[in-house]
Amino acid sequence: HEIVSFAKRKFSEITKEQIETYSDEFQYKMDCRGQIDGHPLVMRIDKYTGNICNVVLFTKAELERK
């Protein structure tokens, strides 16, 4: 998918220290500079391999609800 390949290029230099850790089996990274059409990307990254599992595009309204 083109969004996933965009994110893999955009965030190829991601480090574990930059990833916000939550209390489930995945780590999430949000970087508002990584945007498509103005929408920030949220990436789910496998905790053990560091691989990007999927990329979600959130609108501002969706972000404000969280």
The total number of structural domains that make up the chain: 1
Host domain of residue 61 = 2-65
What is the structure's pLDDT at 42? 67
Q: pTM score, two decimals?
A: 0.33
Q: Are 28 and 22 in contact (CB under 8 A)?
A: yes
What is the structure's pLDDT at 1? 54
pLDDT per residue as tens, the chain (66 positions): 565 566 666 555 544 444 444 323 334 444 445 555 666 666 666 667 767 666 665 555 555 665
What is the structure's pLDDT at 29? 43
**Long-range CB contacts for residues 49-57, cutoff 8 Å, separation at least 24:** 50/14, 50/16, 52/4, 52/7, 52/8, 52/11, 53/26, 54/4, 55/1, 55/3, 55/4, 55/7, 57/3
What is the structure's pLDDT at 48? 75
